[in-house]
Amino acid sequence: MNMPSEHHADIDLLGALIAEIDIAMLVSVAPDGSLVSRPLATLKADGDDRLWFLTSAASGKIDDIERQPRVNLAYADPGANTYVSVTGRARVIHDRERAAELWFPQARAFFPGGPDDPDLRVLCVEVESAEYWRPTTGMTGQALRLMQAITGEGPTDPGEHGHLEVRD
């Protein structure tokens, strides 16, 4: 079990890892038990272990989450060679204040009525744990190590892999 300072460090690291990745793939469980992935823009990561999104009340993910709230969020930044897999519990909220807080201009394409659109819902994922993969060196170092591995002049550094326990 994480101590409080470790807990906050894990939350801070998760926030830093996903800060530059705009889109996550939300994986939920469909009625037939299959896994379904859908893209969502992460709008806020707060210090209370929660990730926030806007979604449509008509989306199939709403039914999936109401039936089975356990979800996965997959984040990928191939340019930075950073990947994050988040496990948590999702809940759907019909909260106009929170929707207004999370609102961004491009959302009008999906919700023409703005934050008061009757189809708009807020999706909150309470993070339980996460895994991440990221390089231990900058781009130049990564390129050098890859060339060394390809030419047989040395092993490649696979980078850092870690597990974050966010919720006890």
Q: What is the pLDDT of residues 75-128, one digit of tens each?
A: 999 999 999 999 999 999 999 999 999 999 999 999 999 999 999 999 999 999
Residue % of the chain over a pLDDT of 70:
80
Q: Which residues contact 165 (CB under 8 A, 6 or more apart)?
A: 1, 2, 7, 10, 129
Half-sphere exposure of 111 (CA within 13 A, CB side): 24
Q: Which residues contact 29 (CB under 8 A, 6 or more apart)?
A: 35, 36, 64, 67, 68, 70
Separation of alpha carbons 78 and 57, rounded Å: 31
Whether 54 contacts 105, CB under 8 Å: no
**Residue 138: predicted pLDDT:** 54
**Residue 3: predicted pLDDT:** 47
Separation of alpha carbons 86 and 25, rounded Å: 10
In angstroms and rounded to an integer, the radius of gyration of the C-alpha atoms of the chain is: 18
Q: Name the pTM for this structure.
A: 0.81
Whether 131 contacts 165, CB under 8 Å: no
Token pair for residue 50? 């929660």
Separation of alpha carbons 11 and 4, rounded Å: 11
Residue % of the chain over a pLDDT of 90:
66
Separation of alpha carbons 157 and 100, rounded Å: 44
| Secondary structure letter of residue 49 according to DSSP | S
Across 55-80, average pLDDT: 95
**Residue 150: predicted pLDDT:** 62
Residue 122's CB: how many other CB atoms inside 10 A? 21
Separation of alpha carbons 85 and 51, rounded Å: 13
Q: Of 65-69, 129-133, 137-141, 163-167, give the lowest mean pLDDT range.
A: 137-141
**Residue 142: predicted pLDDT:** 46
pLDDT of residue 140 exceeding 80, the answer is no
**Residue 158: predicted pLDDT:** 58
Q: What is the pLDDT of residues 31-45, one digit of tens each?
A: 999 999 999 999 998
